[in-house]
Amino acid sequence: MQGKFADEHAVQYHIGLARNMLAGATLALLPGDPGRVMDLAAAVGDASPLAFHREYKSALARVNGTNVLVMSTGMGGPSVAIGLEELARLGVRQFIRVGTTGAIQPEIALGDLIINEAAVRLDGASTHYAPLPFPAVADHALTGVLLQAARELGVPHHLGIAASTDTFWPGQERYDSFTGYVPRKFQGSMAEWQALGVLNYEMETATLFTVARAMRVQAAAICGVVAQRVETEGVASQAVYKLAEARFQQVVKRILAN
């Protein structure tokens, strides 16, 4: 793989990190929410904070003598793409999105985990890296490790395709927005994705997979279900969030322990 590597002490403009700060970490766990960073880092190892610039909060977790980076990406594809660009320059080669999602299939329960092997590219950021016919596909080996860990732990999980959108409301055909209006191109879209077997809506995975493939690095995604769109347009309680969070922390801790 060819790429532009940053100098050891050169701080990246957006994420506020330099190569020496990562202490050799080549794997990054990527939650969306900055508020989830320290909990996730502490759940998998000995955690120490690194930086907090814009939406990018970061920490190092020491796991069995190896450093793992945990860094938030905020919401949506553009910030994911920026994060990947700058982390790749610092030597990170494996990226695992650890987030939350809304299920669109009736058999998926709140608190279950979804491991996405691919994503429908309803985002815009990924098109700046590859044309739409190019698929948004996870790294098979990294995805297999997540899947095996979930099986070993007996955690309820599902493997399949996500629909990644740039918006939380119209792009996911939610009618509880300020105006209540969904443009015609999205009206009926959820039923179409359901019919095609798509498992969930979220806002980052297609960009993550496409950019990672374009940069020849590895990416995978595991998300906890905090909304069941077959039943309601709303999101679940904090108790469900905590359950989903505990489960994806378990899975990630398991893969790092092996």
Is there a domain that residue 161 lies in?
yes
Q: Is 174 an active-site residue?
A: yes
Q: What is the mean pLDDT of the chain?
A: 97
Active-site option among 55, 86, 204, 245: 86
pLDDT tens, residue by residue, 17-45: 999 999 999 999 999 999 999 999 999 99
Asked whether the beta carbons of 51 and 14 are under 8 A apart, the reply is: no
CATH number, domain with residue 48: 3.40.50.1580
Active-site option among 174, 213, 247, 254: 174
Res 3: pLDDT: 78
Res 2: pLDDT: 61
- What percentage of the chain exceeds 70 in pLDDT? 99
Active-site option among 14, 53, 62, 93: 14
Res 223: pLDDT: 98
Q: Is 229 an active-site residue?
A: yes
Is there a domain that residue 2 lies in?
no
* Residue 195 φ then ψ, to 5°: -65, -30
Res 6: pLDDT: 86
- For residue 241, give the 3-state DSSP assignment: helix
Is there a domain that residue 3 lies in?
no
Q: Any bridge partners for residue 90, and if so which? A: none
Q: Identify the sign of the CA torsion 157, 161, 166, 172.
A: negative
Taking alpha carbons only, the member of 97, 61, 86 closest to residue 6 is 86
Q: List, in sequence order, every beta strand (DSSP E) within the chain.
A: 27-30, 46-53, 56-63, 66-71, 94-103, 113-122, 136-137, 157-165, 200-202, 218-228
Taking alpha carbons only, the member of 97, 175, 100, 143 closest to residue 255 is 143
Q: Is 14 an active-site residue?
A: yes
Is there a domain that residue 180 lies in?
yes
Is there a domain that residue 6 lies in?
no
pLDDT at 1 over 90: no
Is there a domain that residue 154 lies in?
yes
- What percentage of the chain exceeds 90 in pLDDT? 96
pTM over 0.85: yes
Is there a domain that residue 33 lies in?
yes
Q: Any bridge partners for residue 225, and if so which? A: 101
Is there a domain that residue 173 lies in?
yes
Q: Which domain holds residue 77?
A: 19-257
Q: How many distinct structural domains can be found in the chain? A: 1
pLDDT tens, residue by residue, 239-253: 999 999 999 999 999
Active-site option among 19, 229, 247, 254: 229
pLDDT at 138 over 70: yes
pLDDT tens, residue by residue, 66-121: 999 999 999 999 999 999 999 999 999 999 999 999 999 999 999 999 999 999 99
